[in-house]
Amino acid sequence: MVLGILRDIIAKRFGIIGRIYPLNNSDVLMFYDESAVRLLRLIRPFVHHPLRRLRIELILAYYDGKISKDEFMKLYEQTKYELGASDVKRNNALDVLVRAAPQTHTHGESRHKKLHGPPSIN
């Protein structure tokens, strides 16, 4: 029902026609060919997730003839990740902090000495 409303709004406002298909236990709204490209161009400014944004840019570059199919496939493959697998953006924060902490501490301490000299003993 919600997908039907969304499909109708997109068709009415932008003239882009999509179709609803059953997939596994849910339905999906899909767009094809020129309709899909037009919709990607419309939503591109509002996509903030880096990998999704990169995929959109790759698809549009391929569609516009700026990159070959081989280049597209090679670059697009790098943007894929498996559900449940280690994600670059997730589950690595502790590792990043552990690596960054000594550097931050060292730089902060040396900057303090340069600005204020050695600590005084009272």
Does residue 4 sit within a domain?
Answer: yes
Boundaries of domain holding 2: 1-46
Q: Does residue 12 form part of some domain?
A: yes
Q: Can you give the pTM of this predicted structure?
A: 0.62
Flag whether pLDDT at 114 surpasses 60: no
DSSP helix/strand/coil, 30: strand
Kindly state whether residue 101 falls inside one of the protein's structural domains. no
Rounded Cα distance between 9 and 63, Å, is: 25
Q: Is 85 a member of any domain?
A: no
Classify residue 30: in a domain, yes or no: yes
98 is a domain residue: no
- Assigned domain for 2 exists: yes
Burial of residue 103 (number of CB atoms within 10 Å: 0-12, 13-18, 19+): exposed
How far apart are alpha carbons 37 and 35 in whole angstroms? 5
Average confidence (pLDDT) over 51-57: 92
Write out pLDDT tens, residues 63-92. Answer: 999 999 999 999 998 888 766 666 555 555
pLDDT confidence of residue 2:
92
**pLDDT bracket for residue 112 (50, 70, 90):** low
Residue 27 lies in a domain: yes
| Number of structural domains in the chain | 1
